[in-house]
A = this chain, B = another copy of it.
Amino acid sequence: MQLNLQREKPTCNCGVFGIYGSHNASLETYYGLHALQHRGQEACGIVTKSISKKGNPIFSIHKGEGLVTEVFDDHEIFQNKLIGEVAIGHNRYSTTGSAQSIKNIQPFIVNYRLGNLAVAHNGNLTNAREIRQELVNEGSIFQTTSDTEVILHLIARNKLNDQVEQIKEAMQRIEGAFSLVLMTDNKLVAARDPNGFRPLVIGKLHDAYIITSETCAFDILSAEFIREVEPGEIVVIDDEVIQSGLIKSYKISELSSPQKHCIFEYIYFSRPDSFIFGHNVDKMRRRLGKVLARNHPVYNEDEEKVIVISVPDSSNTTALGYQTELEKLGVNCKLEIGLIRSHYIGRTFIQPGQANREIGVKIKFNTVKGVLEGRTVVLVDDSIVRGTTSKQLVKLIRDANPKSIHLRISSSTITHPCFYGMDFPSKEELIAHNFNSDIKAIGKNLGVDSIEYLTIEEMLEAVSEAGKDNFCHACFSGKYPIEVDHHYKKEMYET
């Protein structure tokens, strides 16, 4: 009976943040997670490490369902509970109401042979299922349904006495996408999978080190960006690193793997003010808009200006790129604000009865009629998943009586599931799947006068500064860089 307004776009599983060596570790993690809120809105948690009077390490945790500002709503949490100079935090994309799912909120903490261990994970392991089965057969007890928990068990069962070595061996066992921060009794450890699916960056705030998903988490803290964690790299921060200023770095494996960054991070997912995969997201997103204009322009009929509008705020940058390029092509066009977005959308909304189905999109958007009436309108959006929202938006714009509506999408048709951490709906819900990627048919269904997507080739051209071959585009192309177990695939489709 409630509309979920956050889920019209795919959601990535999660943002991570770790800090070592700050007096305000937990509060800074809170700000960092707030800056990463777009990576997961449904739950979050922070773990800190402090030292007891007797000198023993103590791990403290606070986590819950909701936005960072909802879960951490009391100053007391930071003053009395989450104390200590080391902290890790996590934003999670999805939990349902059950007790089980509350367990699934990260970070996870365990106490094992060599002490405390906490972990926060962004990504998705593709061989978690088989490792889990193996560990269960050996008597391990799992508390969650999360693939992340296998990492903890792999470390706990490891007979070595060096924790970094234990982590390294665990990293060698797991496959798929992982950008991890781990906290032990005396270290902050980060690891990124050899393909580098998800971003992970290193920064510095005074003497403290931060490792997190995107650089926008540095900006909120006025922290300095140092470098990215390399694909296949394990980074260790401890007291020695603080003193020497030399970050400890290890390789998961001697073998090198091709880089396979998630292209969706550039298209939609990361914040435009972040720097990831070697480039500013804003610049890449603008380039997607430009390539879109160049290959799929909208020309003036008659004398009138073409009006370019974005779906705020996610495609603002792309639309700007599109309009700039279109103008260069000689089209008389103008970027306009044709849609107003409500600032006050919570996570759920009371659903209306049958009489008024359009309320869904109207809760979020309204048109500025004077801008649209009688005009040739180009609506720029970054992607279409189910098409439901797009259809409602088009209807909304149509009610403002434009001359025509031209939809331009700065990515290709989404036709396949993601096994590396992006949360798409099932294949049957993907509009491009349902129309066999027949773009005209999609356009007709959505009710626009014309529609164009970028081709995969065009998309890769737009991001080519970062290397055309360095991207995973499996959700568009079906070409999966890492072999995925068939059982796993089946599970993904079915649940």
- Please determine whether B371 and A282 come into contact, CB atoms closer than 8 angstroms: yes
Contact with B along A335-349 (1 / 0, CB 8 A): 111001111111011
A182 to B304, CA, bound (A): 47
Stretch from A33-41, A409-417, A418-426 at the B interface: A33-41
Supposing A273-B368, A343-B38 touch, asked if A219 and B140 sit within 8 A by C-beta, the answer is no
Residue A441, interface by CB 8 Å: no
* A41 CB to nearest B CB, Å: 7
* A274 CB to nearest B CB, Å: 9
Residue A403, interface by CB 8 Å: no
Chain A interface main SS type: mixed
Residue among B156, B348, B368 making CB contact with A272, cutoff 8 Å: B368
Contact with B along A126-140 (1 / 0, CB 8 A): 000000000011111
A114's nearest neighbour on chain B, judged by CB, is: B136
- Please determine whether A139 and B110 come into contact, CB atoms closer than 8 angstroms: no
* A366 CB to nearest B CB, Å: 5
What class of interface size applies to chain A in its complex with B?
A: 35 or more
Chain B residues in 8 Å Cβ range of A351:
75
Supposing A34-B342, A344-B34, A359-B31 touch, asked if A370 and B111 sit within 8 A by C-beta, the answer is no
A350's nearest neighbour on chain B, judged by CB, is: B75
- Please determine whether A344 and B153 come into contact, CB atoms closer than 8 angstroms: no
* A311 CB to nearest B CB, Å: 13
Residue A30, interface by CB 8 Å: yes
A152 to B142, CA, bound (A): 11
Chain B residues in 8 Å Cβ range of A67:
344, 346
Chain B residues in 8 Å Cβ range of A340:
216, 271-273, 313
Residue A72, interface by CB 8 Å: yes
Interface residues of A in 243-276 (CB under 8 A from B): 271-273
- Please determine whether A143 and B140 come into contact, CB atoms closer than 8 angstroms: no
Residue A186, interface by CB 8 Å: no
* A401 CB to nearest B CB, Å: 14
Residue A456, interface by CB 8 Å: no
Supposing A340-B273, A370-B283 touch, asked if A78 and B31 sit within 8 A by C-beta, the answer is no
Residue A468, interface by CB 8 Å: no
Given contacts A280-B368, A324-B334, 5 further A-B contacts (CB under 8 A): A34-B349, A73-B350, A112-B136, A221-B362, A273-B368
A-B pairs, 7 with minimum CB distance:
A139-B157, A69-B346, A37-B344, A1-B75, A110-B141, A220-B362, A273-B366
